[in-house]
Amino acid sequence: MKYCDAFKYLGVILDSSLSMNQHVDHVKKNVSKMLGIFSRARRSLTIESANKLFKSMILPILDYCVAVISKDVVKEAKKVWNAYKDELYVRTTTAT
């Protein structure tokens, strides 16, 4: 059996210390990619459609496996979520 620092199991990246930091970094990266796609599509969508698209593209990434994440990771995720929520608000209120 080979030793490895981290591995992916059921979509969650587990490392040798079970800190979930690599998983959180992976989630941030995926959410950032989806926000890029979302921001390009947002220009041609109504607010209602943008909200549905946001909930279907980005929220599942943030919601997956929340139950097993430690309190410290949840605090970090809340910071990320609030930043994205603020960005969404700015994008939807300034859209023409």
- The number of angstroms, rounded, from the C-alpha of 40 to the middle of its chain's C-alpha atoms is 17
Inter-residue contact 92 to 73 (CB < 8 Å): no
Whole-angstrom distance, CA of residue 63 vs CA of residue 43 = 26
Domain boundaries in the chain?
6-93
Tens of pLDDT along the chain (96 residues) come to 777 888 888 888 888 887 778 887 888 888 888 888 888 888 888 888 888 888 888 888 877 776 666 566 667 667 777 776 776 666 666 655
**Closest to 62 measured CA to CA, from 43, 83, 44:** 83
Residues in the chain: 96
